[in-house]
Amino acid sequence: MAKERTKKISPQRQIERLWSEVLETKSIGYLLRAKIEQNLAMLITNINSSFMGNRQLANQNTEDIYYSLRKIIESRVDDNGNVDEYLISSSDAAFIEHRSKLNRKINDVSAELNEVNNKLLSIHRKVMKNNDEIIKFNTKNLEVAYNFIMGGDSKVDAKTLSAEDIDIKCAALNKHNKQNNKNTAKLMEIVNEALDNTIEAQSQVSEKRERIFENRKVIMGIRKDIELFTDE
């Protein structure tokens, strides 16, 4: 019975194939990174739109409602011409309580944002550390290239591997690259879902702004007709 022979792949062919696969993994990784940064930019835009835009408009509505309501209450007097001070105080207390709750929530959100900033700072430090590794690797291999040019002991400088060592290393690197691909695919699913949620949240920001403007129209109508309530 003839023995089946497995065709031996040359070390150079193994390296070329592995290099191609690693570069493909790199491309997918950069696409993943681009989507994450897109999501981050949209999240920051949404937060700014909700807080600096919608929040300020809604707060202005609150202040105008407070003014209009107080004017209406103050215009209502009893037979002796007295204003219901308890009603005014009760109304004022409700608005003060509302403002106090918002102040606390602003601090809560600010604390969370600061935690995010600290996390981003930590990430930035990791990126800089990775950049340092690239610089060190490049510097080392520039020295190897220089020694080649100057006629140095290239085999020692380049750490030449045997055919067997190359087979072992390529097998290990191939396994590592496949795991990277698997992890990237999982992350891509998570990132795509997060991006969809952010886009949906962005549409909700616009919808809430429309509701705020609708309230604004009602408030301005009351402000224009306030004399009807105040008997002015």
pLDDT at 2: 45
Rounded Cα–Cα distance for residues 31 and 184 (Å): 10
Strand, coil or helix: what is 208?
helix
When pLDDT is cut at 50, 70 and 90, the band that residue 71 belongs to is: confident
Structure tokens at 158: 């380049």
Tell me if residue 81 falls in helix, strand or coil: coil
What number is the average pLDDT over the span 43-63? Answer: 91
* Within a domain: 3: no
Please state, in angstroms and rounded to a whole number, the distance separating the CA atoms of residues 222 and 230: 11
Q: Does residue 199 form part of some domain?
A: yes
Residue 2 is assigned to a structural domain of this protein: no
Q: Which of 31-35, 152-156, 204-208 has the highest mean pLDDT?
A: 31-35
Looking at the predicted structure, is the pLDDT value of residue 80 above 60? yes
pLDDT at 22 over 90: yes
Q: Which sign, positive or negative, has the C-alpha torsion 198, 200, 203, 204?
A: negative
Q: What are phi and psi of 109, to 5 degrees?
A: -65, -40
What angle (nearest 5°) sits at the alpha carbon of residue 14, between those of residues 8 and 17? Answer: 130
Instruction: Count other C-beta atoms under 10 Å from residue 183's C-beta.
Output: 13
User: Do the Cβ atoms of 208 and 58 come closer than 8 Å?
Assistant: no
* CB contact at 8 A, 73 and 84: yes
**6 within a domain of the structure (yes/no):** no
- Whole-model pTM: value is 0.77
The tokens for 217 are 């129209």
Residue 12 included in any domain: no
Task: Print the domain residue range for 145.
Answer: 26-230
Taking residues 62-72, report their average pLDDT: 90
- 215-221, long-range: CB within 8 Å, 24+ apart, which pairs? 215/58, 215/61, 216/57, 216/60, 216/61, 219/61, 219/64, 219/65, 219/68, 220/64
Residue 128 counted as domain residue: yes
Query: Whose structure tokens read 């690259």?
Result: 177
How many domains in the chain? 1
| Confidence (pLDDT) at 30 | 94
Q: Is residue 21 part of a domain?
A: no
Asked if the structure places residue 205 within a domain, the reply is yes
pLDDT level of residue 154 (50, 70, 90 thresholds): low
Residues 165-213 have pLDDT tens digits of 888 888 999 999 999 999 999 999 999 999 999 999 988 988 898 999 8
CA-CA-CA-CA dihedral for 164, 169, 175, 181, to nearest 10:
-140
- For tokens 């409602």, the residue is 65
Q: Which of 55-69, 79-93, 116-130 has the lowest mean pLDDT?
A: 79-93
